[in-house]
Amino acid sequence: MKFFVDTADVAEIRSLAATGLLDGVTTNPSLIAKSGRKMSEVIAEICALVPGPVSAEVTATDHETMLKEGRYLRAIAPNVAVKVPLTEAGLRTCKALSDEGTPVNVTLCFSANQALLAAKAGAAFISPFVGRLDDIGQDGMGLIADVVQIYRNYAFRTEVLVASIRHPVHVLQAAKLGAHVATMPPAVIRALFRHPLTDKGLEAFLADWAKTGQSIL
């Protein structure tokens, strides 16, 4: 499974990229707004830090303007993936950009039927929002299971990018279902490292070593 971080915080991305475990980045207008910087500058800086796909989202809602914005965003760096919403205009834009060779991330997916449409439109990634579905009492991971099965049935090349991840259990469930990518906030990625028994074991090992009075170097 690929790990993407969902943020526009360049310092966080730089720190996580240094682990060697980061495969890409997803951003959106809300995350860019929090940075207080110009979108093109933030995207360019992120693309220089992470060689994998960096999703940059259009803000228009009509096809013509979406297409113009998408072409502008893809010109920022070779690893930009243009993100469009799962609307009729968004899928039309997805088809046009995909036909031009631009990878497209179709976002705000909440049903398997929507995911099927995105794959047929040539999306490189589909982003089902599991946390937001859980929030309203629906089964977010059930959606992932359906989409993974449908894509396998027809050998679609679209990758299932699990979004709106709230906690490490979502990551585990997505991996077990065979999702291709998990995008998550920095805090969730860091939570994956932690386990109380790891901390306890390390503390015991270090205490025993200290008693020897030795140094490896």
CA 138 distance to own-chain centroid: 21
pLDDT of residue 146: 98
First-last CA distance in the chain: 37
Domain ranges in the chain? Answer: 2-212
Q: Which of these is catalytic: 83, 176, 200, 211?
A: 83
Instruction: Report, as an integer, the average pLDDT of 82-98.
Output: 98
pLDDT of residue 15: 97
Q: Provide CATH code, domain 2-212.
A: 3.20.20.70
Q: Mapped to the 3 state alphabet, what secondary structure does the chain carry? A: CEEEEECCCHHHHHHHHCCCCCCEEECCHHHHHHHCCCHHHHHHHHHHHCCCCEEEECCCCCHHHHHHHHHHHHCCCCCEEEEEECCHHHHHHHHHHHHCCCCEEEEEECCHHHHHHHHHCCCCEEEEEHHHHHHCCCCHHHHHHHHHHHHHHHCCCCEEEEECCCCHHHHHHHHHHCCCEEEECHHHHHHHHCCHHHHHHHHHHHHHHHHHCCCCC
pLDDT of residue 21: 96
Instruction: Report, as an integer, the average pLDDT of 167-189.
Output: 98
Instruction: Report, as an integer, the average pLDDT of 7-20.
Output: 96
Q: Please tell me the pTM assigned to this model.
A: 0.95
Active site residue 176: no
Instruction: Report, as an integer, the average pLDDT of 203-210.
Output: 96
143-157: per-residue pLDDT in tens? 999 999 999 999 999
Pairing of strands 80-85, 54-57: parallel
What band does 179 get if pLDDT is binned at 50, 70 and 90? very high
Instruction: Report, as an integer, the average pLDDT of 192-203.
Output: 96
